[in-house]
Structure 1
Amino acid sequence: MPQMAPLYWLYLFFFFLLMLSLFLVLTFFIKPFDVKSSTLHTKLLHHKHWKL
């Protein structure tokens, strides 16, 4: 029935909000690895290692 279509959109909207919040939480808590300083790169003091 066409009258039931808004309920399907509501389910899809809640699914989208759930996936968006899950994505934001995962990107907030999971950080990329930090670059370790090694003894081979001690000569390059002007080079800054990236860090979040």
Structure 2
Amino acid sequence: MPQMAPMSWLFLFSMFSSALILFSIINYFFTIYQPITSTQEENSLPQVSLNWKW
């Protein structure tokens, strides 16, 4: 079974590391976040009062 040369392992490591860093940068800068308005907060998070009886 042929073995890979150390230079090839270094190339694979650098390629996958750069792909991970590039994907993380693209994901961080190109995600679109919708600002939460006050009407959305009231509708999406109902207030639940809990009465604890110990």
Please state which band the TM-score falls in when normalised by the shorter chain.
0.5 to 0.7
Greater Rg by CA: 2
Runs of 4+ in structure 1 deviating by more than 6 angstroms, as ranges, are none
Structure with more relative contact order (C-alpha pairs < 8 Å, separation 6 or more): 1
Q: Distance in 1 between matches of 2:6 and 2:24?
A: 27
In structure 2, stretches of 5+ residues that fail to align are 40-54
Superposed CA offset, 1:17-51 (max 9, x none): 0010000000011144423134xxxxxxxxxxxxx
Rounded to whole Å, the distance in 1 between the matches of 2:8 and 2:29 is 31
Give the TM-score normalised by the residue count of structure 2: 0.54
**Identical aligned pairs, as a percentage?**
11
What is the aligned residue count? Answer: 39
